[in-house]
Every structure is written in C-alpha cells, then in structure tokens.
Amino acid sequence: MAANRGRCLYFMFVILTLLGLLGIYCDETISYSSIENGYICNSVLWRFIMPATCPVLSRYFPATKLLYQVVIDAGSTGSRVHIFRFRQSITGIKLENSDFKEIEPGLSYYPTKPEKGVYSVSGLLKKALDVVPRNKWKSTPVSLRATAGLRLLPDSLSHNIIEEVRKLLMVTPFKKIDSDFISIMNGDDEGIFAWTTLNFLSGNLVKPSGETLGALDLGGGSAQIVFKPMSKETILSSPETHMNTVKIMGAKHDLYSYSYLGLGLMSARQAVLNFTTLSGNGNISSSPCILPSYKGSWSFSGNDFVVHGNRSFNYENCLHYIEQIVTNVHQPAEIVDRRFFAFSYFHDIAIALGLVGHDNGGLLSLESYLEAAKKVCSMESYKKLNKSPFLCLDAVYITTLLRKGYGFRDSQFLQIARKINNVEVSWALGAALHMLDDAA
C-alpha cells in the first residue's frame, strides 16, 4: 500500500511538472486565444493522462467544477438578481444557466428610508436561495453593485443605503466576500463589465483574430460606451480617463471605456423637464416633447414633477432642448468603422417604436431610428400609436446621443437586442466573470 502511494505521489509530481511546462508553452504561444488549441494543449493531458495514472489524481483533480455566482444589480429604476451557474474546467469557463428576477423601484427611491430598500433586496435573496443548491450556499459569493441611481444621490444618503444592505448580506448563508463587492460601482467598471458580458456571450474572447464588439449601454442614470481600439490614433488622441487596461480570462485588453453620469434616459427626461419648468411653478413642466393633451406626474431619484404637454409638440422643438443635454461627449473617430451592440434602453425604445422584435432584436440603421423618432413626434402619428407620453422625448434623446454625442453616422448599423443565447446582456455577468478571475 505504501509503495503504491509512493509511486502515485511520484507520478503526480512528474505530471504536474509537465502540466506546468505545457501551461507555460500554451500561455506564451496562444495566450488562451483559441479554445481549440487550448483543448489540445491542456485538456487531453488533464482528462485522460492524469486520471488514468492514479485514482488519487482523479479524486483531487476533477475534470470539471460546478460554480455559482449571485450578482445583484441595484439600478436606478429597479434592482435585479442574476444567478449564474458555471462549469469550470482546464479549458475555461462555460455558462450553463442563468436565472433572473427584477423588482421596482430601485434603492435610490428610498433615500431617507434605507430599511425599505433592504426589504426589497431580501426578496431577491430569497430567489437566489431557491435557485442555488443548499450544499453550494457556503461556496457561492453574493455581490451587490449599485449604479447611477445611487451615484446621483448625496454621499451621506447613498452610504446609509449601502451600509444597511451590507448588514443584510453579511447574515445570509452565502459565502462572505470582501466588502468592496457590496458597493456603489464606478461607471468605468459598469461599462467594462458590460463589454465583457457581450463578448463572452458572443464567443469573441476566445477567437484568435481578437475581433470584438463595441458595447453601448443606456441605463436610467448613465450611459456607457466601450470598445477595443484597433487604431493607435484612438489610443493616442483619447483622454487618459477614457483608456483602461483590464485582464479578462487570462488575457489583457486595452479598452476605450467611459461612463457619462447624467446621460441615462431617466436623467435626460429629468433634464428636459427642468428646462421646461413653468415660471413660478417649481415642479410643473410643460414640454414640447410631450403630447399637448397629456397631464400626469413623473418621479425619478427623489424628484417629483407634474407634467403637462405643450402645443409646440414636434420633433424640432423637442430637439432644441435635447441638444442642450448632449454636450461635452468625446467622439472617437474609429467608431464609424466598428461593429457595436446596443442594449438596455436602446433596445427597449426600439421595441416601443416597432423597429425590432422583443426577443431577438435586430440589425438597425441609425437612419431608421431617426425616422421613427421624427414620426412619433408628429401629432397625427402619436395619436395613432397610443404610446407612452415620453416616447417622443426618449426617441429624440437616443438618436441625438448616438449622432451628436458619440458621432455615429446615420448610415451606420447597430445590433440591438436584450439577450444573446437567451442570456441578458448587462454588466452583471461580466462582474461575475471578473470575480472568478480574481478568485483563480
């Protein structure tokens, strides 16, 4: 028995040494860029030679490992829990399943009553406990990242909300993690995580060509643009704050990434309503972006408005106010030659305009988006469509942000959708992948 154990340990030492050398070879020759080459270099040795050499190796070095990650997205308009199930092997990470639950309103709706925000998060945790097997609770980390909704609040109020949520997460049966993972996320991370999600689901992170998709994310409080520059001119001419180097799944990426706080769709609505507030009536707004017959109320981030339509309702008059919002946006010249994927409110408003389907999305030219915006801002069309009173404003804002803000051409096409392979495109999956990288 002792002799067999000794031989087993000897073979383990030899094979681990070979595996280490082979790993160095793979790392330097293919940089994990090809899943096929990675399989040849690593998986044959891992799956066949090692288990056959000694049963001890099969016991302590399993071919695959099941992992769960729970990510709570505390957004400006609602909170969402994502429960991811991964299969980890020597060839990399595979997403096997994704569960999702959403509640409204967001944490920023409770600036002075953080306990109510905590109560809403507890419902999301119950969903996670139902999905993750009990025997995986202690090994499953839960992170909560708040986005622009809390970034727009005064620091003292947002801090109180996060601290109350932190107390809740620390008493769950899930794995305890660093407090940094229960925090207000900066905009750059939000964009980079979304870009990671997009290109992971598209299979671009393992392609030897290195070709990736650019990401356009439009939330309630902020807007993000992220892409991997192919031109040195982009790198040299861009502000330092717009360039970031990140490591994802073993490979480094130099990314153009910037988050514009205050340029989210709900923030844009609020700005227009502020511009058109009636003199002497601090919270009553009459906007040419709103159909004349409309009277109602609207709230965002603790600000309440009484909204009236305006007789001057049309595209040009609405555009006048929208253009005052979209200023000081950097325009990288390279984007006119790159492929971009737009999601979140870019997708939701395209659905409302009848431009793409709900599930599959579609390839959409900016010109067609613009024509739809002009149409929905005409009196006759709006009455026929019977849509949201804010649809004209939303459509004009999106097309202006893309054209006047980022600098896309009217003839340019964008891929617009909410999901890829039935998984939602958001920053949450990217954050989970980065956590797996950090834990490796």
- State the pTM of this model: 0.82
pLDDT of residue 121: 93
Quick one: angle between helices 345-352 and 391-400, nearest 10?
Answer: 130
Give the separation between CA 313 and CA 387, rounded to whole angstroms: 15
Considering the domain boundaries, does residue 72 fall inside one?
yes
- Which residue among 185, 217, 247 closes a domain? 185
Residue type, 387: K
How many degrees, rounded to 5, is the angle at CA 131 between CA 143 and CA 87? 75
Give the separation between CA 413 and CA 89, rounded to whole angstroms: 37
3-state DSSP call for residue 420?
strand
- Which residue among 162, 185, 208 closes a domain? 185
Domain that holds residue 366: 187-425
Considering the domain boundaries, does residue 25 fall inside one?
no
pLDDT of residue 30: 34
Same domain, 317 and 374: yes
Contacts 24+ apart (CB under 8 A), 385-389: 387/352, 388/352, 389/290, 389/291, 389/294, 389/296, 389/307, 389/309
What does the block give as tokens for 409? 């051409």
pLDDT digits (tens, 9 = 90+) for 18-43: 555 444 444 333 333 333 333 333 44
Q: For residue 112, what are the contacts with CB-CB under 8 A and spacing of at least 6?
A: 157
Q: What is the CATH number of the domain that holds 113?
A: 3.30.420.40
| 396 or 179: which leads in pLDDT | 396
Helix (H), strand (E), coil (C) string for 174-209: CECCCHHHEEECCHHHHHHHHHHHHHHHCCHHHCCC
- Which residue among 185, 206, 224 closes a domain? 185
Same domain, 114 and 251: no
pLDDT of residue 179: 76
Residue 62 pLDDT exceeds 50: yes
What does the block give as tokens for 311? 């007789």
Give the separation between CA 107 and CA 146, rounded to whole angstroms: 8
Q: For residue 432, what are the contacts with CB-CB under 8 A and spacing of at least 6?
A: 69, 71, 82, 84, 86
What does the block give as tokens for 211? 């070709």
Considering the domain boundaries, does residue 31 fall inside one?
no
Same domain, 317 and 266: yes
How many degrees, rounded to 5, is the angle at CA 214 between CA 210 and CA 215? 135
Beta bridge partner(s), residue 419: 424
pLDDT digits (tens, 9 = 90+) for 271-317: 999 998 886 666 899 999 998 889 999 998 878 999 999 999 999 99
3-state DSSP call for residue 401?
helix
Give the separation between CA 308 and CA 286, rounded to whole angstroms: 5
pLDDT of residue 330: 96
Give the separation between CA 172 and CA 83, rounded to whole angstroms: 15
Query: Both ends of the chain: CA-CA distance in Å?
Result: 34
Give the separation between CA 381 and CA 259, rounded to whole angstroms: 34
How many degrees, rounded to 5, is the angle at CA 25 between CA 21 and CA 26? 115
Q: Which of 65, 64, 70 is nearest to 132 (CA)?
A: 70
Same domain, 414 and 265: yes
Which of the 8 DSSP states describes residue 278? P
Mean pLDDT, the chain, whole residue set = 85
Most confident segment among 63-67, 75-79, 309-313, 391-395: 391-395
What does the block give as tokens for 55? 């049963």
Which of 5-19, 240-254, 371-385, 392-406 has the weakest average pLDDT?
5-19
In this prediction, residues 266-273 reach a mean pLDDT of 96
Most confident segment among 7-16, 170-179, 182-191: 182-191
Q: What is the CATH number of the domain that holds 288?
A: 3.30.420.150
Contact between 76 and 299 under an 8 Å Cβ cutoff? The reply is no
Same domain, 405 and 286: yes
Same domain, 130 and 195: no
pLDDT band at 177, cuts 50/70/90?
confident
| Percent of the chain with pLDDT strictly greater than 70 | 82
Q: Which are the catalytic amino acids?
A: 190
pLDDT of residue 380: 74
pLDDT of residue 281: 67
Same domain, 139 and 193: no
pLDDT band at 83, cuts 50/70/90?
very high
Same domain, 337 and 228: yes
Same domain, 98 and 237: no
Same domain, 323 and 355: yes
Considering the domain boundaries, does residue 291 fall inside one?
yes
Considering the domain boundaries, does residue 285 fall inside one?
yes
Considering the domain boundaries, does residue 52 fall inside one?
no
Same domain, 405 and 268: yes
pLDDT band at 13, cuts 50/70/90?
low
pLDDT digits (tens, 9 = 90+) for 91-130: 788 999 999 999 999 998 898 888 888 888 999 999 999 9
Residue 50 pLDDT exceeds 80: no
Q: For residue 209, what are the contacts with CB-CB under 8 A and spacing of at least 6?
A: none
3-state DSSP call for residue 241?
helix
Considering the domain boundaries, does residue 323 fall inside one?
yes
pLDDT digits (tens, 9 = 90+) for 252-264: 899 999 999 999 9
The structural domain count of the chain equals: 2
Same domain, 243 and 335: yes
Considering the domain boundaries, does residue 26 fall inside one?
no
